[in-house]
Amino acid sequence: MPINEFIKKFQSQLENDTIIVTAETEYSNESYWDSLTAMVIKVMIDDEYAVDMEPEQITALKNINELYSFIIEKQNSK
């Protein structure tokens, strides 16, 4: 499933890349989440999906599922 690819990419950006991430993970409530991590995820989304998001936007979304849907929606509307 394409979301699994996204989860892998998300995971690989974390300082501790053994952390378990699922579609339901509410990343912005996790202890690793801060403004710097949001920046790294922003750059990954820009690189891999050509979608430019503000870090605050990423933080405001509920979970990985929502974030991934947002990216796909943006891609489709291009």
Partner 1 sequence: MAFIKYISTYIPENPISNEDISKKFPDWDSNKILEKIGIRNRNITGDNEFTSDIAVKALNKLIDEYNIDKSTIDYLLVCTQSPDYFLPTTACIIQDQVGLNTSCGAIDINQGCSGYIYGLSLANALIDSKMMKNVVLITAETYSKHIHENDKGNISLFGDAATATLISNDGDFEILKFSLGTDGKGANNLIVKNGASRHKKTENKEDLDNYLHMNGPKIFDFTSKSIPNLVEDNLKLNNFQKSEIDTYLFHQANTFMLDFLRKRIDIPKENFVIDMLDYGNTVSSTIPIAFKNSLPSRSLKNIMLVGFGVGYSWGAVCLRKK
**Residue 66 neighbours by CB under 8 Å, 6+ apart:** none
Interface with partner 1 includes 43 (CB under 8 A)?
A: yes
**Which of 66, 63, 59 minimizes the C-alpha distance to 26?**
63
Place of tokens 């891999």: 48
Give 22 or 54: the residue with its C-beta nearer to partner 1.
Answer: 54
With tokens 């499933």, the residue in question is 1
- Tell me if 50 contacts partner 1 by CB under 8 A: no
Q: How far is the CB of 56 from partner 1 (least distance, A)?
A: 8
Contact flag: residue 42 with partner 1 (CB under 8 A): yes
User: Is residue 19 a contact point for partner 1 (CB under 8 A)?
Assistant: no
